Amino acid sequence: MTRLGVPKTYKLYVGGAFVRSESGRYDRVQERNVPRGSRKDIRDAVKAARSAAGPWAARTAYNRGQILYRTAEALESRGGELGVARAELEASIDVLVHYAGWTDKLQPVLGGINPVAAPFLSFSLPEPTGVVGIVAPEEPELLGLVAELAPALAAGNTVVAVLSEARPLAGLDLGEVLGVSDVPGGVVNLLSGRRGELAPALAGHRDLNAVVDVSGDPELGAEIDRLAADSVTRVRHAAATTSYPDAVTDALGRLESVVELKTAWHPVGA
């Protein structure tokens, strides 16, 4: 008797769990049934990310680097299951390793003592901006996502990502990699569905602190700007990353877009 294989059921990755879309809807994409996320799923994902933001930011930079490196290890060992070209997979792994090395260098590079003409000590420290929304590009579906995810996590932020609409499977499979990588639940949330429906709901959410738009869609980008302006949410528009050099050449710029500088003054010599 010929055995029938068990087909994989794809789910959203929200709050560290694999969940069906709240609406129960699915789209047929890449010959698979893919959950079609809703506005309610966006709200649930942002809520999970907000709950995880404080504990994740409170971890030491060294520990966050260890976790990112562990994610690269898990992606190396399970990458064959993601169905992307080997070159794209290897570039994604290398991007994670690169930003794992940045976690304990952000403070000395972006922070420092400020020269002031008064009897004060003034210094600045970088802090995570909070919850970062990512609108991933259509392709490359894995590298284009990881290139924006890695700097946000390295800087101590939590993430809600809207995956490629046309090719979401690699992004959904990445959730399984994250699940075995010591990444705490809620730190990364991955949603598939129709970008025109999910991205505006994400950009307009008032508990979001920054948006990274890599959709390459000018009309959607303008809509994201309009919605984000209502809550003074930071927005960075960028082209899709297609190689490892693209992802790391301006690493500091990517990191600066998802951190805030906190400056303190202290009287001295009194």
270 residues of the chain, pLDDT tens digit each: 788 888 888 999 999 999 999 889 999 998 899 999 999 999 999 999 999 999 999 999 999 999 999 999 999 998 888 889 999 999 999 999 999 999 999 888 887 677 777 777 766 778 999 999 999 999 999 999 999 999 999 999 999 999 999 999 999 999 999 999 999 999 999 999 999 999 999 999 999 999 999 999 999 999 999 999 998 999 999 999 999 999 999 999 999 999 987 777 777 765
Length of the chain equals 270
Q: Please, which residues bridge with residue 266 across strands?
A: 121
In angstroms, rounded to a whole number, what is the distance separating the alpha carbons of residues 195 and 177?
Answer: 23
Q: What is the pLDDT of residue 269?
A: 65
- Residue 1 included in any domain: no
Query: Is 176 contained in some domain?
Result: yes
What CATH number corresponds to the domain at position 220? 3.40.605.10
226 Cα distance to chain centroid: 21
Within 10 Å of residue 21's Cβ, how many Cβ atoms?
21
Q: To the nearest 10°, report the CA torsion of 237, 164, 98, 105.
A: 50
Residue 76 within a domain:
yes
Rounded to whole angstroms, the Cα distance separating 2 from 9 reads 22
Residue 117 within a domain? yes
Residue 52 lies in a domain: yes
Q: 113 φ, ψ to 5°?
A: -90, 135
Can you read off the two tokens belonging to residue 237? 């528009």
With respect to residue 2, please indicate whether it lies within any of the assigned structural domains: no
Largest CA distance in the chain: 89
Q: Residue 112 has what pLDDT?
A: 66
Question: Which of 154, 15, 177 has its CA nearest to residue 82?
Answer: 177
Range of the domain at 147: 12-19+26-267
| Residue 91 counted as domain residue | yes
Residue 99 lies in a domain: yes
User: How many domains is the chain partitioned into structurally?
Assistant: 1
